[in-house]
A and B are shown apart, each in its own frame.
Chain A
Amino acid sequence: MNFTYKGRCWKFGDDIGVDGDLMPLEFAIQRETRIEVLSPNTFKGVDPTFAGKAKPGDIVVGGKRFAQGNPHIQGLLGLRGLGLGLVVESIPRGSLRNAVNAGVPILPACKDVTKSVETGDELEVDFASGAFRNLTRGVTLQFQPLEQTLRDIIAIGGWRPALEKRIAAMGLRR
């Protein structure tokens, strides 16, 4: 999997809620997990036109406590469906697990990153090395990448394919 994303920046502030802001709560209540149903509703609570504008390879840059709230996976599956990368200042434990489980490339701890970007900037982010470049502003930053083990889960497509692979490797399937 190519872990370098080059695309447009979509910047969001602090405390974006996983329910309501990132994805309407009703999908979590219905336990909806079909990506094609979820992705057109991504960020609906903040910008109803977002899904129509974002393109695969674009990068969402969030502030502190991105995807806070009850750890529902639906909003992260929405990001996955749109083919977006995720760079945030911080993300609560449950939503970090869900980003990995949804297969969304992420840099989870990028202090003050929102100060170096604006929506519309051209970004290049290597999620394997943590290299972050704002091509529009000529800014280069270096962040801690996600651990290799977790990048492997993301690369294979998230929780379900990763578990299938592990079960096959352990010879558990009968």
Chain B
Amino acid sequence: MAQTIAEKILSRAVGRTVRVGEIIYPEPDLVTVHDWYVVNFDKALQDLGVTRLYAPDKVLISTDHEPVAVSVLAAERQRQVRHIVAKYGIKHFFDTGRGGHGHLFPMELGYIKPGMFVLAYDVHANNFGALGCLAIPLVVEITDVLACGSVWLKVPETVRINLKGSMRPGITLRDVADRMIADVGADTADYTVMEFGGPAMGSIGIDGRMTLNNRPIEIGVKSTVFETDAVTFEYLKGRVPPPYQELKPDPGAAYKAAFDYDLGILEPQVAAPPTPDNVVPVSQVAGRKVDHAFIGSCANSSISDLRDAARILKGRKIAPGVRFVVTPGTQLIQAQAAAEGLLAIFTEAGAMLTAPGCGPCAGGRTLPLAKGEVSINTGTRNDHGRLGPREAEIYLGSPFTVAASAVAGKIVDPREFL
């Protein structure tokens, strides 16, 4: 039977050919949980009388949502997380100041490879789809997986995206990804896996593939996954021992829908409040005064994103009255940005650097907005209240657009600055 990539990975995970729509209990190769749910799952397991994890050697915990404890409460939670990790013998623990963002560093450090199946506490773990890994987010049911090794999943339909064309100057994959989720829409995307391939795929690096994977979650997909190619295998070299599985869908695999998507969109895009798929050309919101700007989050905190921001900021200053935050995704990205001189450019421009991880995007626990303020950032969500008060506006855009707007003090088309 001809299969999509998701069907292949789930079939391998359960040891037989799966059918779309059936309920399965696949065991993951890796389970990831972030710092804000560790105390919760420990309490749930205690209530249930469970004292051991099903596979503690397959669990990875990262302190990325609140790496810098700025309250005694947060320091106490970090202490409890360390204790819980030790209690259950969890093998892979990346404490504050170690890995960085849990949706990025596992790829850098060789935990993720093509064909893997991951279950994760947190919605954007499908970043791992950039390497041909199927990562499915869960919320409370991560407890089932930790205790019993699996949880029910319905084998999803797949939506195919064939990438073609090439990007125009000043346009980034963030612009393309935001435009694409608005064009595909929630009705088509819900409960599906979005599979990427097509003739333009080879022009997109792993950083850009992460951004393309990251955005469709906002329109209800279960996960996202890229085909593998030479770019994938080049990235894996030196991180994961070979051999590497080549992953392509079978000819004749059945899709819920298939789209050719052209990278050649005409104008930078911005997601206006109150939802990430409320995407408009930047000219429609240009001129809006901003108080807060931020480069980071699991959508856009790679070295490519920091280079884009630095290209705008070099020799320029952040506008008076604007606070500007840069959060490198991982410790390694931060080190590379330092080596390339990017951190110096940010510092010179008037930026604040925060510890690798989610940065302000994690609910505005650090560097939130005040009532009535406006932010433009590369984060994942722009719901009212995402960065603190409900009475604030959040616009989402590319690293170019965010950096240029921070310099201008208002939302601008970044192509004027390139």
Contact = CB atoms under 8 A, between A and B. Distances in A.
B95 interface: no
B406 to A, nearest CB: 29
A65 B48 contact: no
Contact of A93 (B49, B140, B147, B190): B190
B109 interface: no
8 shortest interchain CB distances as A-B pairs = A173-B49, A93-B191, A149-B23, A147-B23, A174-B51, A172-B50, A92-B190, A92-B220
A164 interface: yes
A95 B305 CA distance: 34
B152 A150 contact: yes
Contacts of B51: 174
Contacts of A64: 187
A44 interface: no
Interface of A: 64-65, 68, 70-71, 73, 90, 92-94, 96-97, 101, 147, 149-150, 153, 159, 163-164, 166-167, 170, 172-174
A159 B220 CA distance: 22
B147 A65 contact: no
Interface string B153-188: 010000000000000000000000000000000110
Given A173-B49, A174-B51, A163 B147 contact: yes
A166 B148 contact: yes
B114 to A, nearest CB: 25
A172 B48 CA distance: 9
A112 B33 CA distance: 40
Given A92-B220, A149-B152, A167-B148, A172 B52 contact: yes
A129 B186 CA distance: 29
Interface string B318-343: 00000000000000000000000000
Contact of A97 (B141, B187, B220): B141
Interface residues of B, number: 23
A7 B143 CA distance: 36
Contacts of A167: 48-50, 147-148
Interface in B186-208: 186-187, 190-191
11 contacts: A64-B187, A65-B187, A68-B186, A90-B190, A147-B23, A150-B152, A163-B143, A163-B144, A163-B147, A167-B147, A172-B147
A163 B48 contact: yes
A101 B243 CA distance: 40
B22 interface: yes
Nearest to B24: A149
A112 B162 CA distance: 32
A92 B192 CA distance: 11
B253 interface: no
B147 to A, nearest CB: 6
A173 B50 contact: yes
A163 B36 CA distance: 22
A174 B49 contact: yes
Interface string B134-156: 00000111011001100010100
A51 B403 CA distance: 50
Contacts of B113: none
